Structure 1
Amino acid sequence: MSSGDHHASSSGGRVLAVGPLPPWLQAVVDKHDPLVLPGGAEREAFLAEHAASVHVAVTTSFTGVGSELMAALPNLRAVINFGTGCDSTDLAQAERRGIGVSNTPDVLTDCVADTAVALLLDALRGFAAADRYVRQGRWETEGPFRLTRKVGGTRVGILGLGRIGRAVAARLEPFGCRIAYHNRRRVADVGYPYYDSPVALAEAVDVLVVAVTGGPETARLVDRSVLTALGPDGYLVNVSRGSVIDEEALVELLATGGLAGAG
């Protein structure tokens, strides 16, 4: 595909490719004679010529269809989003205009949950840090690597008990971890203790696993108050968007001993 591939539109409207697409997805989109959104100075002229003909936009979670682009597409009917997260697309405008937005919510659930558990194990047991310690020759000059924390019996709080949060909990239970959670609403079919705020959950656990959706509603949900509630013996594991974490507070607390670790 290239931005020059602008053939005559069909009566059913055009497909617009927004941002880089995986090769296999690009091959599928190419079968529909797509328009390709250019960047930079070309975009304004391109939209002036083609915006009215676009009915479907195909994109990824990394690019999305933001508010300005969506507003420029008066006849847009659907956004096909490859990826789980939709926070790069203006969902509020899409809802107002009746534009359908699809994603691929279940494809990565197991892989993300596996990653969360791997990060938790590494944060508590220090595998990567121990590897660096030995490779740097510090074993010979500084002695054995520091003692690390046992995983079994660890109190793990899951912030966001959706598909991924549940999958994380299912993986951690066989380790003997004690699971608790906070969600926008209590989940009826689980027996884990529920806490009514992120701060309350953080105060009650040793490790906080963040598995919420991204977007404006969850921006800096894990703020300084939540991180402080975890305390100097607490660990943070984030498999959500970076925007969910107050990163300045996180870095400061890690540097000053206000948190034990993060992954």
Structure 2
Amino acid sequence: MADQEEEQDNTGDQNHKPKDPPQVLVLKPPPVLSVIGEESFLSNKYQFLKAWESPLPLHQFLTAHAGSIQAILCSGAAPVTDDLLQLLPSVRLVVTASAGTNHIDLEACHRRGISVTNAGNVFSDDGADAAVGLLIDVLRKITASDRYVRQGLWVSEGDYPLGSKLRGKRVGIVGLGGIGLEIAKRLEALGCNVLYTSRKKKTFLSYPFYSDVCQLAAHSDALIICCALTDQTRHMIDKDVFFSTGEGRCNR
């Protein structure tokens, strides 16, 4: 009797088919894959569907896998639009390999009950390093003077005009989130005076706060934009902000 039960159990195991892992659509390879390698993303818990490797036109490729794609891994080079989501009724998650989400139709995702997640603060240090490096470049005219020398103008035109030091500059930060805070730390260490505007005042910080970006610009020598690109922030830096920077006045 026990042998018969064991035989039945073995037969059941043989007839059981392992469930296919959920499929993740990747329209184009995110830049992060070229840096850390695709093996970092590999897992037996899911399967990548690489649209760029398929010989099929994109619409046919998506139609063929529409019922099995449950998640999308995207980047700025491959936006997730309402039209795309209409072709993929089984999608329940959109993951972006960046901190920003402006390439994702968030309203369309919300309407369909699709969760959206981003890289969070993973790239905050890198973004802050790049921003401060660019500010130093602009003030010290590093790349501009490099072009001047490479074009042979040092010989014909004389010395390139001197740049400006960073210490003592009033630097306004627009958006004091994860990246903005890291920039502020670096600027403070370099002897700058940090000012900021954000959705709300950070009570744990002593930096001067301005509720209006134009007022911030009027009291700053330079601005660093760290806010997310949304319908509310698009075109926020306009001519009024530009012409008021460092001049102590605002036309708004």
Distance 1:129 1:43, change over 3 A: closer
Say if 2:45 is the partner of 1:36. no
Partner of 1:14: 23
Distance 1:131 1:100, change over 3 A: same
Partner of 1:147: 162
Distance 1:41 1:33, change over 3 A: closer
Partner of 1:182: 197
State the AA in 2 paired with 1:36: K
Q: Which of these two proteins has the greater Rg computed from alpha carbons?
A: 2
Partner residue of 2:187 out of 169, 172, 176: 172
Supply the RMSD in Å over aligned alpha carbons.
2.7
Give the Cα separation in 2 of the matches to 1:65 and 1:108: 21
Distance 1:221 1:25, change over 3 A: farther
Give 1:30 deviation, angstroms.
7.8
Partner residue of 2:122 out of 100, 107, 114: 107
State the AA in 2 paired with 1:16: L
Q: Is the 8 A contact 1:64 1:86 kept in 2?
A: no
State the AA in 1 paired with 2:49: L
State the AA in 1 paired with 2:48: P
* Unaligned ranges ≥5, structure 2: 1-18
Partner of 1:119: 134
Partner of 1:135: 150
Q: Is the 8 A contact 2:218 2:247 kept in 1?
A: no
Q: Is the 8 A contact 1:61 1:84 kept in 2?
A: no
Partner residue of 2:245 out of 230, 241, 257: 230
Give 1:212 deviation, angstroms.
1.1
Alignment TM-score, normalising by the size of structure 1:
0.76
* Unaligned ranges ≥5, structure 1: 1-9, 234-263
% identity of equivalent residues = 34
State the AA in 1 paired with 2:27: V
The 3-state SS of whatever aligns with 1:216 is: coil
Distance 1:204 1:231, change over 3 A: closer
Q: Is the 8 A contact 1:64 1:81 kept in 2?
A: no
The 3-state SS of whatever aligns with 1:64 is: coil
Q: Is the 8 A contact 2:22 2:47 kept in 1?
A: no
Distance 1:76 1:205, change over 3 A: same
State the AA in 2 paired with 1:34: F
Give 1:173 deviation, angstroms.
0.9
4+ runs of 1 displaced by more than 6 Å? none
Give the Cα separation in 2 of the matches to 1:225 and 1:147: 28
Partner of 1:242: none
Alignment TM-score, normalising by the size of structure 2:
0.79
